[in-house]
Structure 1
């Protein structure tokens, strides 16, 4: 009898272990942990904080986060995506700062029915690949709105009339050029010039081109760059005599890496540099809820993350946390079986488009943030609006501060 009881017990343990093994999901974060390491780590920490709050569970099943470094390379990003698609436990993929890898992979993601959550990449077409079944959800800035926002700020609040557009030659840069030009035309303004540059920009070439822009009479510079190239342009402009410098109105890509450290405080404090950000009031005047989240993050990641006002890429953490909260809410709203991740992805996708309860986040409380593209139009998969944006700058210590309205 004892032997029979032991046999039954072992069988139950084995079946339970097998069930537990099936009831597990994987989330992938495919980002640039090399060139844009600061933003990628911030996103990862935001995701992990939200997951840890619920003991790494979604819909009653275990979930783990797998990070992959594409190093800004679209081919490597594609390989990472294929790994996620081939993994039978994958529930969703998060992307990072760079838009080009995301744009390159959109067709494959939709073909595979892979849920993509975007906490940073801003190219406008990322969430608008399909107006039918759309697998991409963004909680970040949207270039369809950022271009207009930056132009409004430069012209209405700063009074500039002769801008130069300085853009990286990628899908992200071209998307911004289109939207900025449209916004400028509405004001009856033509840019002094539109300048393009490639990644890994060299200082000598930038120096000559910048001198030409200044000589042409530009009164401000619209910059669409990531950290590495943004550092080059900032250093070169700071090296000019004070009377020759012009303000920089920048996209937020420069905040994705060690921009302050690489430019140096001496050079940085010589510049008038403003850049778009999500509303950062939660960093400077946190609510009770936000303080709890930040304290939890400090317990997980230590003193390096203890003071949110010192964060180099606060948007990465805020967006990573909030979009994970929306994913978890969708998972709780529906019944996840944990047996077929592909079917569960579709269930979660539909749930994200029809969240029934408000979801508390760091940036705001989200009430039906997403909807089907047929019902809500081109912004159906955008959780933020331009009213959620603000302009930021660096203080004398290189900390991001929000410009007063």
Structure 2
């Protein structure tokens, strides 16, 4: 009969305990997912709450449709990681840092508000993180003077918009002395420069430049000054709620004057706030859904069942810009064969043949021009019974 060894017993017990501990430890860890390692994360910084939430929702829907298309076609899968900037520049910068440092995103899509974009631009250029804007139109966002510029855009550009608005007021209303009423922030300042440049180019004078705040509920004093100075038309630059206050103030004054606007009113249910007179405002768009049989509209309805009619898509321009921006970014990542920021940036200058919602893009970016859309891609629209339709 063999002698039992205490060392043998200890070893056997230790082995059993070790195995149990290993099993317990293993159950506390997530299962290894090879696909997760291969997934490329894209970050989104946008206003997902507050008065611009409809715009943030449109951007999210456009990105989601693009990611669904890309993932269905194979290759490295994409994943969207979103942060709400609440239209606050400081929160937008914090969100961008978090996406880059904690989430390890390959690139950031965002900047619904021009002030938020201006806050993010220096950071992404310093950190060499590609940043592509599907909304904010401030001219200096892409034309930021950086030696190595990582900021791209698929959206309107203030300088081009201001030229288009000026020409529109002249051609359609014979404007000779327009007045400006602009939101008092960097977006308003960007458009002030562009509008003055457009007027100077034509040798035209203006009736004044008035500023107002986003929370102002009455702008009659500013509008009265413009009227007394002989304004025969108005440039308006502001988002949904502030522009609605301009319209209500005009109604209180009984002043019926032609109004041409940047695309701010398109960012939500504008006429619900402004009333019937809101339909008089003609504004810039880069894309519109006009046919319920449009294949992209059908896909939107399939993905988001709450979309029942064309009027439920507000605004289409945000969806289209974000969709196209995501396809261009994905094409650059594919071409670069890497998620390295400098490699993606260089690839952005080489992509072509990307079929987007707005158009097909062939070499849309150069180091001297990092805006994919120009004046030829703009159209004017207005609200009619809650739906954005093109001006006929």
Query: What's the TM-score bracket when you normalise by the shorter of the two chains?
Result: 0.7 to 0.9
Alignment deviations for residues 127-184 of structure 1 (CA, whole Å, 9 cap, x no partner) = 1224532111100001121111111111233211121111112111111111110111
Matched positions, count: 364
5+ long unaligned stretches in structure 2: 1-28
Are residue 403 (structure 1) and residue 391 (structure 2) matched? yes
Given that residues 46 and 83 in structure 2 are in contact (C-alpha distance below 8 angstroms), is that contact kept between their aligned partners in structure 1? yes
Contact kept in structure 2, 1:370 and 1:382, CA below 8 Å: yes
Give the whole-Å Cα distance in 2 for the aligned partners of 1:19 and 1:222: 54
Superposed CA RMSD in Å reads: 2.3
Structure 2 distance, partners of 1:347, 1:284, is 39
The verdict on how the C-alpha distance between 1:322 and 1:308 changes in structure 2, with shifts beyond 3 A counting, is farther
Higher relative contact order (CA 8 A, sep 6+): 1
Q: In the alignment, which of 211, 221, 225 is matched to residue 208 of structure 1?
A: 221
Alpha-carbon separation, structure 1, partners of 2:345 and 2:308: 34
| Deviations 1:262-307, CA, capped at 9 Å, x for gaps | 1223x435xx321111143xx2258x8xx333222211111x3243
> After superposition, what is the alpha-carbon deviation per residue over 1:233-277, rounded to whole angstroms, capped at 9, x for unaligned?
011112333xx3211111111211231211223x435xx321111
How far apart are residue 88 of structure 1 and its match? 5.2
Partner of 1:28: 43
Instruction: Indicate yes or no: 2:309 matched with 1:307.
Output: yes
Corresponding residue to 1:39 among 55, 69, 73? 55
* Partner SS, residue 239 of structure 1: helix
Deviation string, structure 1 residues 92-148 (Cα, Å, up to 9, x no partner): 111142000111221111111111110000000111224532111100001121111
Contact 2:287 / 2:316 at 8 angstroms: preserved in 1? Answer: no
Give the structure with higher Rg (CA): 2
- Are the structure 2 counterparts of residues 122 and 147 from structure 1 closer, same or farther at C-alpha, using a change threshold of 3 Å? same
Q: Which residue pairs with 1:360 in the alignment?
A: 355
Contact 2:311 2:386 in 1 (8 A): no
Match runs of 1:285-296 below 5 Å: 285=291, 291-296=294-299
In structure 1, list runs of 5 or more residues that go unmatched: 1-13
Match status 1:51 vs 2:57: no
Match of 1:394 among 380, 383, 388: 383
Structure 2 CA distance for partners of 1:47 and 1:187, relative to 1, 3 Å: same
Alignment partner of 1:224 is 2:237:
yes
**Residue equivalent to 1:5:** none
TM-score normalized with structure 2 length: 0.87
Give the match for residue 101 of structure 2: 86
**TM superposition score normalised by structure 1:** 0.84
Residue 310 of structure 1 deviates from its aligned partner by: 4.4
- 1:383 is matched with which residue? 372
